[in-house]
Amino acid sequence: MTRKPEELRSWRWFAPDTLRGFGHRSRLKQMGFRREDFTGRPVIAIVNTWSEINPCHLHLRERAEMVKRGVWQAGGFPVEIPAFSITEMYMKPSPMLYRNLLAMDTEESLRSLPVDGAVLLGGCDKTTPGLLMGAISMDLPAIYLPAGPMLRGNWNGQPLGSGSDGWKFWAERCAGNITADDWNAVEDGIARSPGFCMVMGTASTMTALAEALGMTLPGASSIPAADANHARMALNCGTRIVDMVWDNWKPSRILRRESFENAITVDMAIGGSTNAMIHLIAMAGRRGIDLPLSEFDRISRSVPVLADIRPSGRFLMEDFYYAGGLTALMSEIRDLLHLDCATVNGQTLGENIATARIHNTEVIRARANPLFAHGGTTVLYGSLAPDGAVIKSSAADPRLLKHTGPAVVFEDFNDMDARIDRDDLDVTPDSVLVLKNAGPLGGPGMPEWGMLPIPRKLLLDGVRDMVRVSDARMSGTAYGTCVLHVSPESWVGGPLALVRDGDPVSLDVAAGRLDLLVSPDEIERRRAHWNRPARRYERGYMALYAERVTQAHRGCDFDFLSGAAPIPEPEIH
Ligand code: FES
């Protein structure tokens, strides 16, 4: 123990023999606690994103109780605090709009309340970065407890993966290859336990990266939500956070540039979601660390994809856990990691993975037999994306990774929705589908529209992949040759705004290029006639968002939330 009780943050609320101190103590006594329960003990906030409309977090009320048990056992005082629950499935127009709101909620709850440390409970896509961004900015000792993936889906004895198989079987239904009864049975079997999407989507990616950053206990990100080991992991978080408070073991002592490089390396080795790039840039920004897209590209070129998990591979997260989970995967790429980086358990990353082993090399490949020789994500630059774009190359049809074709342009989602399946749409398998106004401001919130549907008439001809380009994001569960996050976005006048039907668009993943093959003179002529869309929000959170959000290559954080400038502790009067 390195700190004294008087040095605890909560001491300022509970210890003083003042009228305010009296008020703070008396209201906890109102709830049945004794003065000795909370005075001079680490007060631990269990920041819980449980909600009845968030199926991924269905079990987090029970897990919070386990965390509390651990906190009590270690001599702390737990308080469960609800946080804004971003539910990927239901929140419209895009849950990405609200990641920064959760980050603010987390940071300001921790700042304004008498707490000394936090255990953060989340998992559904945006909740991991949202909770961590807030905790990093507040910089109190904090552990992240990932909600864990669902068990495998099941239909007629075959495993189903969240999202990925929804897309796949919907295409088959549109093509008339499965019946309505089949489709309903898939609906019954695709989500059959608590937990988040069990493919290597954004949720599994971000929780893995939280572990790679050192912000979870070892192995925490891979445990299925329904597994009893998950409940025990919750207990362990509760006991460990109390020691972390005494040691003042806070994010600024754990997270450094090398921690984020580790996270990028792991992102590539797991074939992680493209969304991770935006979130990692934003999280690093909260420590004042600049992570340019070029870092992802550099690391991607030297890291093999080892996780054979859908949508890039064959298996699901439950299989990943049984194969040894993330610690086993990291042990296989230990030479590519900064092993001296600190983690929440007080040990280094290298110490945490020292004894980890792969139990199934089908699921977690050996270095000698990777799923892909290079990282699953490629950064693209070019005349169509001066500030960058990304493609999940591991989930694309290799045939299309070098392709030039005429653009079929949709001005926005509604335009696409109205025309994509029309028989008179002038489209061939070689066309490049282009969607505008789906970026941070255009969507708004960069909705996951980047996997544009294949036009029905091509689906019926057996086409299953085409080159698609947008300023949108794509679900981590999705797949296909989809160029995403084109920056600057079309809403603010990026070159994407100027693409017209028939323009040749060139994609060359190996060269890292995305180009609009139209003369600069013609582009300038078009720009002269382009008008920025009218402002949509006059008040409310959306107005704040529209005014302060940054572009995709800057992480879509609010400009005033980024950086590591200190904020004074609240005065207590
Ligand atoms: Fe929550 Fe997929 S809906 S992770």
Q: Is the CB of 56 under 6 A from ligand 1?
A: yes
Reported as a pLDDT band with limits 50, 70 and 90, residue 123 is: very high
pLDDT for res 196 = 97
Ligand 1 center–CA 85 separation, angstroms: 12
Mean pLDDT of the chain: 95
Size of the chain in residues: 573
- For the CA atoms of 89, 91, 97, 101, the dihedral, rounded to the nearest 10 degrees, stands at -110
Atom of ligand 1 nearest to the CA of 87: 1
Q: What pLDDT, in 10s, does the model give residues 321-362?
A: 999 999 999 999 999 999 999 999 999 999 999 999 999 999
Percent of the chain past pLDDT 90, that is, above it, reads 90
Using the predicted structure, report yes or no on whether residue 476 has a pLDDT greater than 80.
no
- The string of DSSP codes covering 80-122 is EEE-----TTT-SS-GGGGHHHHHHHHHHHHHHSS-SEEEEEE
- For the CA atoms of 2, 129, 88, 375, the dihedral, rounded to the nearest 10 degrees, stands at -120
pTM: 0.95
Using the predicted structure, report yes or no on whether residue 22 has a pLDDT greater than 90.
yes
Q: What pLDDT, in 10s, does the model give residues 378-396?
A: 999 999 999 999 998 888 8
Using the predicted structure, report yes or no on whether residue 478 has a pLDDT greater than 90.
no
Atom of ligand 1 nearest to the CA of 203: 4
Q: Is the CB of 198 under 6 A from ligand 1?
A: no
Q: What pLDDT, in 10s, does the model give residues 235-268?
A: 999 999 999 999 999 999 999 999 999 999 999 9
C-alpha pair distances (Å), 467 with each of 322, 343, 505: 35, 40, 10
Ligand 1 center–CA 89 separation, angstroms: 6
Q: Could you tell me which of 186, 53, 44, 11 has the C-alpha nearest to residue 117?
A: 44
Q: What pLDDT, in 10s, does the model give residues 299-320?
A: 998 999 999 999 889 999 999 9
Q: What pLDDT, in 10s, does the model give residues 190-201?
A: 999 999 999 999
Q: What pLDDT, in 10s, does the model give residues 143-171?
A: 999 999 999 999 999 999 998 888 889 88
Spatial neighbors of 515 by CB under 8 A, at least 6 apart, are 382, 383, 384, 505, 506
268 alpha-carbon distance from chain centroid: 14
Ligand 1 center–CA 522 separation, angstroms: 43
Q: Could you tell me which of 149, 195, 63 has the C-alpha nearest to residue 325?
A: 149
Query: Strand, coil or helix: what is 381?
Result: strand
Reported as a pLDDT band with limits 50, 70 and 90, residue 1 is: low
Q: What pLDDT, in 10s, does the model give residues 544-562?
A: 999 999 999 999 999 999 9
Distance from C-alpha of 540 to C-alpha of 371, rounded to nearest angstrom: 46
User: Which residue has better confidence, 360 or 464?
Assistant: 360
pLDDT for res 410 = 98
Percent of the chain past pLDDT 70, that is, above it, reads 100
Distance from C-alpha of 248 to C-alpha of 431, rounded to nearest angstrom: 57
Q: Is the CB of 147 under 6 A from ligand 1?
A: no
Which pair of structure tokens corresponds to residue 55?
């199926």
Spatial neighbors of 169 by CB under 8 A, at least 6 apart, are 178, 182, 183, 186
- The string of DSSP codes covering 272-339 is --THHHHHHHHHHHTTT----HHHHHHHHTT--B-B-BTTTSSB-HHHHHHTTHHHHHHHHTGGGS-T
Atom 1 of ligand 1, nearest CA residue: 124
Q: Could you tell me which of 267, 254, 248, 353 has the C-alpha nearest to residue 312?
A: 267
Using the predicted structure, report yes or no on whether residue 373 has a pLDDT greater than 80.
yes
Q: Is the CB of 197 under 6 A from ligand 1?
A: yes
Q: What pLDDT, in 10s, does the model give residues 32-76?
A: 999 999 999 999 999 999 999 999 999 999 999 999 999 999 999
Residue type, 398: P
Tokens 């106004």 sit on residue:
437
For residue 308, the number of C-alpha atoms closer than 13 Å in the C-beta half-sphere is 17
- For the CA atoms of 275, 278, 282, 287, the dihedral, rounded to the nearest 10 degrees, stands at 90
Residue type, 526: R
C-alpha pair distances (Å), 301 with each of 85, 208, 515: 36, 20, 21
Q: Could you tell me which of 566, 416, 385 has the C-alpha nearest to residue 484?
A: 385
343: left (phi over 0), alpha (psi -120 to 50) or beta: beta
Atom 2 of ligand 1, nearest CA residue: 197
CB 56 within 8 A of CB 64: no
What phi and psi values does residue 483 have, to the nearest 5 degrees?
A: -85, 130
First vs last Cα of the chain: how many Å apart?
Answer: 30
Spatial neighbors of 470 by CB under 8 A, at least 6 apart, are 434, 435, 436, 438, 449, 450, 452, 482, 483, 484, 486, 496
